[in-house]
Amino acid sequence: MTVWRKALAGMGAALAMAGGAAVAAEPAARATIEIRADAPGPVIDPEIYGQFAEHLGGGIYGGVWVGEDSKIPNIRGYRRDVVEALKALHVPLVRWPGGCYAEEYHWREGIGPRAARKVRVNNSWGGTEESNQFGTHEFMDFAELIGAKAYINANLGAGTPQEMVDWIEYMTSSSRSALAQERRANGRDKPWSVDWIAIGNESWGCGGTMRSEYYADLYRQWSTFVRPPGDRPVRKLAVGPSGDDYAWTETVMKSAGKMMDALSLHYYTLPTGDWAKKGDAVAFGEAEWAATFKQTLKMEELVTRHSAIMDKYDPDKKVALAVDEWGTWYDTAPGAPALNQQNSLRDALVAAINLNIFHAHADRVRMTNIAQMVNVLQAMVLTDGDKMVLTPTYHVYALYRPFQGATAEPIKVTAPDYRQGEVTLPGVHASAARDKAGVLHVALVNLDPKQPVTVSAAVAGLAARKVSGQVLTAPAINSINTFQTPHVVEPKAFDGARLASGGFTATLPSRSVVVLDLVP
């Protein structure tokens, strides 16, 4: 530790923030970071960057699918602009068709000629009409189009084990069975790969209001019949807890832990913590800013405590903790489609903090799915007719691409607290990982909306010869990208980092995400 202290003590202040902009007049606070590049941790599974697409609001229709006859530029019915934006993110995995909608979805209604498909009422989301124009073939082709794996959520609440088994065979069998032949008759000769199958969704709530003991028995029954072809294995996911329901995790892991590949966890960031009045996506001040981060930082405790319970029954960590629904959730604006919300700089920092948490627990957290991909909740992109805009959250995922498949490195942050009223939060949040080429990537989040912070970092096990990076910030805490002004919140080159003896220094602008690349 003596060497580390000397390295930290010898570092000078860094230069100003990115893009040539001046640092705020208020002097920067100071923080220290220790990175152990000589003590590598687990690999960050790319599936931590998974997405979620549910049939609600504009999440599918108008967001992903417009049909081949649409005037909106498309690739076989898929919006070209959305496809290209998602491909650029290297989306590793997409979950579909829900969510709560999965528990009323019957896959046979979404195959065959589109003109002959049944129109259903979507009772999960406002009683809207569901045309079934986007079904199994459309989803699986879409996943292939953007280069993502497929995560299918089976209907446990209103379905049957036989329905699930038939669906898996229809999608994955290379045999001459009736179901495989039916798939071929519907236009797909080669079987698809289904990487994950979830047996139910939120079975404690919209998926059946079940007790954990009852769900665990159903999971044991249903999972027994998941028998994909030997050359196309399917990993099985069990419904896990909502938030801090640790008793659910205890029961399901004790009863069925040896029969699953992952256990889910759902947790949403509500600024108020109150489902009846969650808060506004854009009209907020610093009090709501601080309250939002207080809520989102609870993810650390949830992951830690649920992982500890899983360790009791799975000490070798064979079962992943899959945070397959997470993100910000605000009140929907009057007249807006279901769960449509704007996406501000605040959301960008929320995304970065959660990804940092997942990196720190990459030994157990090996898949997550932000809610959701397009037009719903904390979306990557927003669309309106033929217009599309990238959100601040999209840009965080773009900045964090190098972390996919990189090796997490231990990191310790010592920083002044950020205080707002009665809320006290750590002022700096961080993550570090080394990719296969040896480059060390360091993500730094300054939660303070007013004050910059100068970070002095000691890096053990890496002698960097070059440092570069990008920064994401904006003029205000509630800055957004709109169809008219799409570039308000987007990354810029960061020239505020300098190599120093044993590490580097960097001055982080207030309310910012900075990702640095240290090249050996």
Which of 471, 458, 465, 466 has the alpha carbon at shortest distance from 432?
458
Residue 325 known to be catalytic: yes
How many whole angstroms from its chain centre is CA 343? 15
Residue 103 known to be catalytic: no
Distance of alpha carbon 411 from alpha carbon 257, whole angstroms: 31
Distance of alpha carbon 481 from alpha carbon 483, whole angstroms: 7
Distance of alpha carbon 350 from alpha carbon 231, whole angstroms: 39
Catalytic residue among 47, 169, 325, 409: 325
DSSP conformational letter for 380:
S
Question: Do 379 and 389 touch, CB atoms closer than 8 A?
Answer: no
Which 3-state string (H, E, C) describes 151-192? EEEECCCCCCHHHHHHHHHHHHCCCCCHHHHHHHHCCCCCCC
What's the token pair of residue 245?
Answer: 């329901």
Instruction: Name every residue whose Cβ is closer than 8 Å to that of residue 409 and which is 6 or more positions away in sequence.
Output: 35, 36, 37, 39, 40, 41, 432, 433, 434, 440
Neighbours of 162 (CB within 10 A): 9
Catalytic residue among 104, 202, 288, 409: 202
Which of 320, 346, 363, 396 has the alpha carbon at shortest distance from 49?
396
Question: Do 48 and 366 touch, CB atoms closer than 8 A?
Answer: yes
Distance of alpha carbon 249 from alpha carbon 244, whole angstroms: 9
Neighbours of 306 (CB within 10 A): 28
As beta bridge partners, residue 433 has 408, 441
As beta bridge partners, residue 471 has 492, 514
DSSP conformational letter for 39:
S
How many whole angstroms from its chain centre is CA 443? 16
Active site residues: 202, 325
